[in-house]
Structure 1
Amino acid sequence: MFKNISAALGFGGAKVDTILDRNEVVQGGLVSGHVKVIGGNVDQHIDAIIIRLMTKVKQEVDDNIEFVDHVLAEYSVSEPFDAEAKAEYRFEFEFNLHPEAPVTTLAVDNNQCLVWIDTELDIEYAMDASDEDVIHVTPLPVVANIIAKIIDDKDFKLVKADMESGTVSMSGFTNESGAYQEIEFCQNGFFSRGELELTFILKGDTIYGLAEIDRVLRGDSYKSFDISIHASDAEINDLVDYLI
């Protein structure tokens, strides 16, 4: 009886450990690995193993900026099962990274974007065991090339990246996750000071985007666009020239 009560309180209960095959994944790429469950001091019934793909989203609350956990997607890894005391179980999983997950590997000091998976054991009448594992999201080549050309050819500097709460429409497409990434640039030339905020969202073989351009003395302007993930260098050059 004491062991059962302790397990229900989280002491001596089943433990969970998620091992990713790799923790660096390109936008929309495959996330795979396995979940290891180790039984505790007593037998326990596991209703489910749940993996949640998480990010941090910026919200304004009472004039204060807060970063809150946001679920991009949720996956069930197992059917209900009984975890015997001290026994070990292994469950394989794979899924494609949610297409609206932010790029987290941008070379910028003020990078407020984070992606991780939260694995949870759903155990009735017990404190859930959980595990967290960071995923480093790299940009698709077309996105990386657009950013590079803005920096190299247009003399902008990458200054910040974060996830905003809400929806945004681009070329007739609206994001579905309730959050979107903003990548911010600035340009400090004497005759060309300005700021640029870019949003990229992957859907299928297309990158949808929105650019907010703030030019000194010329005000704000918005431009939406879409471009194939297989776009040529010439198409990328034309897009950057159109945006700036």
Structure 2
Amino acid sequence: MFKKLLASVGIGAAKVDTLILSETLVPGETMLIEIVIEGGDVPQTINGLELSLMTMAEVEHEGGESRQPVRLHHWHLDDRFTVEANERRSERFELTLPLETPITALRCTRGFSEVWLETGLDIAQGLDGRDHDPLRIAPTAAMSQVLAAVEACGFELYSTDVEQGQLRGPNFASSLGCYQELEFRPTGMGAMRVKEVEVSFVAQPGVTHVMLEVDRRFAGDSLRCFVVPEGASDSEVAMSVRQILG
């Protein structure tokens, strides 16, 4: 009875470990994971698995801004079973990342974005053991084309962050409750004209919407948007970027 009581408050209870079977992912891609469950000191009933795609976002409040965890997406795997004491069992699952998942696999001078998968056990009458697994998210082909074109115009990536809220532009709006900003700074003579360029993406099936916020030294901020259709050539994307930054 004493062991059952301890297990009900998370002591000696079942533990979960999630293995990400892909080293690098891209937004919209299917992620293969393996979930390993290890039983505690007593048998426990598992009502299901709870998985959350998380990021850290800048959140505004009365005292200013702070970075807080924000859930991008949630999956509930409804699979009721009993894990015996000291039993080890594993199962593989496929999860599809949202198209608007922030990018983390970028080199920048300072500041970076984080995305992770949080896994928990829905244990009857008890707390769950959680697992926290960082994800390496690379840009899609369209995003890579835009980033390369910005760099070709004489800018380098300085920092990235995720902002709470919704990004809206002509015929598009973000949908996850937050959006990513990639801050570029000019190199060489370009610094005479432009302070910084912030790039944001809202990817949708078949197209990627791009918003550039350009901070010019003598003209202030301006917002410009364009669309990169799936299969667009490098030269087409480069031309769109040059028309804004040139």
- Do they superpose with TM above 0.5? yes
* Equivalent in the alignment of 1:151: 151
Residues 36 and 78 (structure 1), Cα distance of their counterparts in 2 relative to 1, 3 Å cut: farther
Residues 191 and 66 (structure 1), Cα distance of their counterparts in 2 relative to 1, 3 Å cut: closer
2: CA distance, partners of 1:56 / 1:69: 4
* Equivalent in the alignment of 2:117: 117
Give the TM-score normalised by the residue count of structure 2. 0.93
Give the TM-score normalised by the residue count of structure 1. 0.94
2: CA distance, partners of 1:102 / 1:95: 16
* Equivalent in the alignment of 1:197: 198
Residue 36 (structure 1) shift: 1.1
Residues 8-27 of structure 1 mapped to structure 2, 5 A cutoff:
8-27=8-27
Residues 66-81 of structure 1 mapped to structure 2, 5 A cutoff:
66-81=66-81
Residue 54 (structure 1) shift: 0.7
1:56 maps to a residue whose letter is M
Identity in percent: 29
2:227 equivalent to 1:226: yes
Residue 195 (structure 1) shift: 1.4
Answer with 105-114 or 178-187: which moved more. 105-114
**Do 1:23 and 1:134's aligned partners in 2 also have CA atoms closer than 8 Å?**
no
* Equivalent in the alignment of 1:47: 47
**Do 2:160 and 2:180's aligned partners in 1 also have CA atoms closer than 8 Å?**
yes
* Equivalent in the alignment of 2:142: 142
Q: Please state whether the residue corresponding to 1:26 is helix, strand or coil.
A: coil
Q: Please state whether the residue corresponding to 1:49 is helix, strand or coil.
A: strand
2:175 equivalent to 1:176: yes
1:171 maps to a residue whose letter is P
2: CA distance, partners of 1:170 / 1:23: 33
1:164 maps to a residue whose letter is E
Answer with 92-101 or 184-193: which moved more. 184-193
* Equivalent in the alignment of 2:211: 210
**Do 2:193 and 2:218's aligned partners in 1 also have CA atoms closer than 8 Å?**
no
2: CA distance, partners of 1:78 / 1:192: 56
Residue 67 (structure 1) shift: 1.0
1: CA distance, partners of 2:177 / 2:4: 40
C-alpha RMSD over aligned residues: 1.5
**Do 1:171 and 1:226's aligned partners in 2 also have CA atoms closer than 8 Å?**
no
**Do 2:109 and 2:157's aligned partners in 1 also have CA atoms closer than 8 Å?**
no
* Equivalent in the alignment of 2:98: 98
After superposition, the C-alpha distances for 1:202-233 in whole angstroms (9 at most, x for unaligned) are 11121112111111111111112111132102
1: CA distance, partners of 2:228 / 2:158: 24
Residue 158 (structure 1) shift: 1.3
Count of residues paired in the alignment: 243
1: CA distance, partners of 2:174 / 2:211: 11
After superposition, the C-alpha distances for 1:55-95 in whole angstroms (9 at most, x for unaligned) are 11111223432111111111123422121222222222112
**Do 1:140 and 1:229's aligned partners in 2 also have CA atoms closer than 8 Å?**
no
Q: Which ranges of structure 2 fall in alignment gaps of 5 or more residues?
A: none
2: CA distance, partners of 1:56 / 1:149: 27
* Equivalent in the alignment of 1:30: 30
Answer with 186-195 or 13-22: which moved more. 186-195
**Do 2:47 and 2:81's aligned partners in 1 also have CA atoms closer than 8 Å?**
yes
